[in-house]
């Protein structure tokens, strides 16, 4: 469709005058390596490629919408995290970001551990061959059945989240004739600078046991007296999509203080601390994430310093990055459907997915970027809102972005950095079929999670 058929909406100058938007990139076809996985590039015809395969070929074979996961990049990020933390620390990938059997096998091969937070994640991990001792089991309301399965499987640690759970896990472990390694999750009382729904270290929320008022110290007291439990350490997770290391530093300091108190009161030096996940990634060119080696150095230094000051041996550190490993490794490919220019406002570009494959924009006001993927274009930038096909006006995938003004139905567009919390939070709203996840590596693409079918929907509907 010609550009004249699509008035471009506000011109760049008007938009900038309003002061609400970032300027469009000088070249809309350029790929910012911060937001794209490492093997994504454009071929000589300008089409986006991943793992050496052009997106139009991928769309033809696998359909759209679909998530394309760059296996080489995923593995490289696993290695970057484990190299950065070294043999004296443990990296647990947080499976809630995205979990499948293929991912579990890659983690196992790359030497990472795995954090799961439900029976379903535990089943997937064990089924794909993750050794139980490399699994940590989380959750603020684990069921008795989940605890029994985790203990029987022999998971490496259960992270205790409440006073009731301390007793419950101890009881189940004793009944099963086990002594279960556990950590206690504490809330350290820092306000992480992120969206309210994904901040977890302030006191007024459902996770963990507060350091404040001596509650965490009391939890340690109880855990140490129960013979079904082997208390191996303290856990703190302050939130998610955080760039500022200050919150992690305060958290590390407060956790070490608790270790010192435990040593003074009980004569026991707990051997481990887990500082959780939550490291931010770049969704747009505005974001500046830290590299794993910087994160490892800053956390390692603070823990070492605080332990020296307290006269404690440095405990073994573990971390639980989810988003920072898988987030940047995938993009979602959509086909453009209707295009609706609203004069003086913006152009609405509808795609064949939406809030069912990426709820993050609606839920957290998350920002994403987008590029024309099936070709390049030198047309002028137009301000767009990329929206889905659901029956809600909040069904937004990318709130504000620029795409070339010759965009036409049938073009493919790609939204980067959708590896974390997109497929794992996908829904069947409006009876949408959840998209597949396709792993791409060295010129080969294979389905790791298949697309849902209408038969899948009907199979659950037994009425
Ligand atoms: N460890 C614990 C105990 C957690 O609760 C989480 C995330 C992580 C590690 C991993 O955090 P990450 O490194 O991925 O930020 N759905 C939200 C994020 C919720 C995170 C929940 N817990 C989102 O889409 O932003």
- Cα(310) to ligand 1 centroid in Å equals 30
Whose CA is closest to atom 24 on ligand 1? 421
Q: What percent of the chain has pLDDT over 90?
A: 90
Summarize pLDDT for 337-346 with one digit per residue, the tens: 999 999 999 9
**For residue 201, with 0-12 CB atoms within 10 Å meaning exposed, 13-18 middle and 19 or more buried, which class applies?**
buried
Tell the residue nearest (CA) to atom 16 of ligand 1: 421
CA atoms of 98 and 125, how far apart (whole Å): 12
Ligand 1 centroid to residue 116 C-alpha, Å: 11
Catalytic residues: 391
Cα end-to-end span (Å), the chain: 46
pLDDT tens-digit series, residues 390-435? 999 999 999 999 999 999 999 999 999 999 999 999 999 999 999 9
Cβ atoms < 10 Å from Cβ of 120: 12
| C-beta separation of 43 from 30 below 8 A | no
How far apart, in whole angstroms, are the C-alpha atoms of residue 373 and residue 286? 21
Residue nearest to atom 6 of ligand 1 (CA): 277
Domains 12-70+328-460 and 138-321 share a fold: no
**Pairwise CA distance, residues 185 & 211, whole Å:** 10
Cα–chain-centroid distance for residue 292?
A: 15
As for ligand 1, residues whose beta carbon falls within 6 Å of it are 94, 96-97, 115, 138, 198, 237, 240-241, 276-279, 320-324, 360, 364, 420-421, 425
Sequence-ordered list of residues with C-beta below 8 angstroms from that of 393, at least 6 positions apart, any chain: none
Name the residue of 240, 248, 324 to mutate for ligand 1: max ligand atoms within 8 A of Cβ: 240
Ligand 1 center–CA 241 separation, angstroms: 8
Residues facing residue 250 across a β-bridge: none
Any idea what DSSP says for residue 199?
B
pLDDT bin (cut points 50, 70, 90) of residue 25 is confident
CB-based contacts of 204: which residues, under 8 Å, 6+ apart?
Answer: none
Domain definitions of the chain by residue range: 12-70+328-460, 138-321
- Residues 385, 347: Cα–Cα separation, whole Å: 6
Domain 138-321 has CATH 2.50.20.10: no
pLDDT of 18 above 90: no
- What are φ and ψ of residue 187, in 5° steps? -105, 120
Q: Lowest-pLDDT range, 19-23, 186-190, 222-226, 318-322?
A: 19-23
Q: Please tell me the residue having the least CA distance from ligand 1 atom 8.
A: 277
Nearest CA, atom 12, ligand 1: 278
* Mean pLDDT of the region 188-210: 76
Pocket-testing residue among 245, 277, 361, 363, ligand 1, by greatest number of atoms within 8 A of Cβ: 277
**pLDDT tens by residue, 112-136:** 999 999 999 999 999 999 999 999 9
Specify burial of residue 296 (Cβ count, 10 A radius: 0-12, 13-18, 19+).
buried
Task: Decide if pLDDT at 7 tops 50.
Answer: no
**H helical segments located in 54-109:** 55-62, 71-85, 101-109
What is the CATH code for 12-70+328-460?
2.40.37.10
Residue 323 Cα to ligand 1 middle (Å): 7
> Tokens 């010192």 belong to which residue?
260
Q: How far is the CA of 405 from the centre of ligand 1 (A)?
A: 37
**What are the tens digits of pLDDT across the range 137-191?**
999 999 999 999 999 999 999 999 999 999 999 999 999 999 999 999 999 988 7
Atom of ligand 1 nearest to the CA of 327: 14
Tokens 């070339």 locate to 404
Distance from Cα 17 to the centre of ligand 1, integer Å: 37
């Amino acid at each position: 469709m010609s550009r004249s058929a699509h008035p471009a909406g506000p011109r760049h100058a008007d938009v900038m005058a309003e002061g609400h938007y970032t300027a469009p990139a000088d070249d809309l076809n350029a790929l910012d390596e911060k937001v794209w996985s490492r093997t994504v590039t454009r071929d000589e015809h300008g089409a986006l490629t991943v793992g050496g395969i052009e997106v139009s070929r991928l769309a033809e074979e696998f359909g759209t919408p679909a998530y394309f996961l760059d296996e080489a990049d995923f593995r490289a990020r696993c290695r970057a995290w484990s190299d950065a933390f070294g043999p004296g620390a443990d990296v647990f990938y947080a499976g809630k970001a995205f979990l499948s059997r293929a991912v579990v096998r890659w983690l196992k091969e790359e030497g990472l551990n795995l954090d799961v937070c439900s029976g379903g994640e535990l089943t997937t991990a064990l089924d794909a061959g993750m050794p139980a001792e490399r699994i940590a089991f989380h959750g603020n309301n684990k069921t008795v059945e989940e605890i029994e399965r985790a203990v029987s499987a022999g998971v490496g640690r259960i992270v205790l989240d409440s006073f009731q759970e301390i007793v419950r896990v101890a009881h189940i472990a004793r009944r099963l004739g086990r002594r279960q390694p556990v950590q206690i999750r504490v809330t350290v009382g820092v306000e992480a600078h992120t969206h309210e729904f994904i901040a977890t270290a302030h006191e007024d929320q459902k996770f963990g046991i507060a350091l404040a008022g001596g509650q965490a110290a009391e939890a340690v007291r109880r855990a140490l007296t129960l013979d079904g439990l082997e208390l191996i350490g303290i856990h703190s997770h302050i939130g998610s999509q955080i760039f500022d290391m200050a919150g992690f530093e305060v958290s590390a300091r407060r956790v070490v203080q608790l270790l010192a108190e435990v040593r003074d009161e009980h004569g026991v030096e707990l051997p481990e601390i887990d500082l959780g996940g939550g490291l931010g990634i770049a969704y747009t060119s505005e974001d500046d994430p830290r590299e794993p080696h910087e994160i490892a150095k800053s956390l390692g230094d603070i823990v070492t310093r605080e332990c020296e000051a307290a006269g404690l041996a440095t405990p073994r550190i573990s971390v639980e990055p989810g988003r920072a490993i898988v987030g940047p490794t995938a993009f979602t490919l959509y086909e453009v459907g209707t295009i609706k220019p609203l004069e003086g406002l913006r152009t609405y570009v509808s795609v064949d997915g939406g809030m069912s494959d990426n709820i993050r924009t609606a839920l957290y006001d998350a920002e994403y970027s987008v590029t024309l993927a099936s070709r390049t274009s030198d047309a002028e930038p137009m301000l767009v809102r990329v929206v889905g096909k659901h029956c809600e006006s909040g069904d937004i995938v990318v709130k504000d972005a620029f795409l070339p003004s010759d965009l036409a139905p049938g073009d493919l567009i790609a939204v980067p950095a959708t590896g974390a919390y997109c497929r794992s939070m996908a829904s069947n709203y409006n009876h949408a079929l959840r998209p597949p996840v396709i792993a791409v590596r060295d010129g080969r693409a294979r389905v790791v999670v298949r697309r849902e079918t209408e038969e899948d929907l009907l199979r659950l509907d037994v009425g």
